[in-house]
Amino acid sequence: MKHQIIADLEQRYTAKRYDSNKRVPQEQLNVIYEAIRLSASSINSQPWKFIVIESDEAKERMHRTFRNKHQFNQPHIKAASHIILFAYNPNYTREDYAKVVDKGIADGRVSPENREQAFGSFAFAELNTNELGDTSSWTKAQTYLALGNTLHVLARLGIDSTTMEGVDSELISEEFSRELDGYQCDVALAMGYHHQEEDYNVNLPKSRLELDSVLTVL
């Protein structure tokens, strides 16, 4: 018998049209948000912000950011139930990591006398920081872990979604500058329930490269 995880992952797909009458129930949203928070990241850096577009007003603002490009994704903004902006800190610093260390102390994972020692792992962040203090390629990679985790959780909850790298990062930075507070959003995720007649992707078979062409067991 097929494992339930595989069945769920085979059933998930990228929705191309949403039913604007359906909304994700709050208790499932709470599961999704908590799952996002629990996402793993390098040195537990958590260099991210997740901005949820829920209200009509927020959707209107997000809708406006498609005026220059990627209009193929624009219909999802008003029709999908929610959109999550996955944003990363482009200049992750020791002060940012101090919040992680101090939360580790508060959570009983790090003892207060080992606080200084706990900053040892920050060397890994430094390795991924260029001469201008830019950590983007490293911190952005962390947001994709949260994204992948979210896709899996949505698959298991039976909620449809559309990952969108087709977003205008510059206009999002302008429109949501207050909320982003210097963080950068290069990818967003629409979620909801597909439109029964108009989602041309729903009945297409899943297509992936063969396992032996991407996986080597030694």
Ligand X SMILES: Cc1cc2nc3c(=O)[nH]c(=O)nc-3n(C[C@H](O)[C@H](O)[C@H](O)COP(=O)(O)O)c2cc1C
Taking CB under 6 A as the criterion, which residues in 198-217 touch ligand X?
206
Q: 């919040």: which residue's tokens? A: 99
Q: Which is nearer to ligand X, 3 or 206 (CB)?
A: 206
Q: Are strands 184-192 and 82-88 parallel, antiparallel or unpaired?
A: antiparallel
Residues 59-98 that bind ligand X (CB under 6 A): 73
Task: CB nearer to ligand X: give 101 or 155.
Answer: 155
129 vs 139, beta carbon nearer ligand X? 139
CB of 42 to ligand X, least distance (A): 19
Distance CA 201, CA 208 (A): 15
**Helix H or strand E encompassing 191:** strand 184-192
Tokens of 129: 């920081």
Q: Which stretch binds ligand X (CB under 6 A): 48-56, 134-142, 163-171, 190-198?
A: 163-171
Residue labelled with tokens 């439109």: 195
Name the amino acid, one letter, at 182: G
Among 8, 14, 134, 202, which residue interacts with ligand X (rule: CB under 6 A)?
14
Whichever of 165 and 181 has its CB closer to ligand X, that residue is 165
CB-based closest residue to ligand X: 166
Could you please report the per-residue DSSP string of 68-100?
SS-GGGHHHHHHSSEEEEEEE-TT--HHHHHHH
Q: How far is CA 208 from the centre of its chain?
A: 22
Q: Which stretch binds ligand X (CB under 6 A): 23-31, 91-99, 156-164, 174-182?
A: 156-164
Residue among 24, 62, 164, 172 that touches ligand X (CB under 6 A):
164
Tell me if 142 sits within 8 A of 47, measured CB to CB: yes
The whole-angstrom separation of Cα 110 and Cα 121 is 13
By CB under 6 A, residue 29 contacts ligand X: no
Q: Is 163 in the site for ligand X (CB under 6 A)?
A: yes
Binding piece for ligand X, criterion CB under 6 A, among 61-69, 97-105, 116-124, 158-166 = 158-166
Which residues of this protein are in contact with ligand X, per CB under 6 A?
Answer: 13-14, 73, 162-166, 187, 206
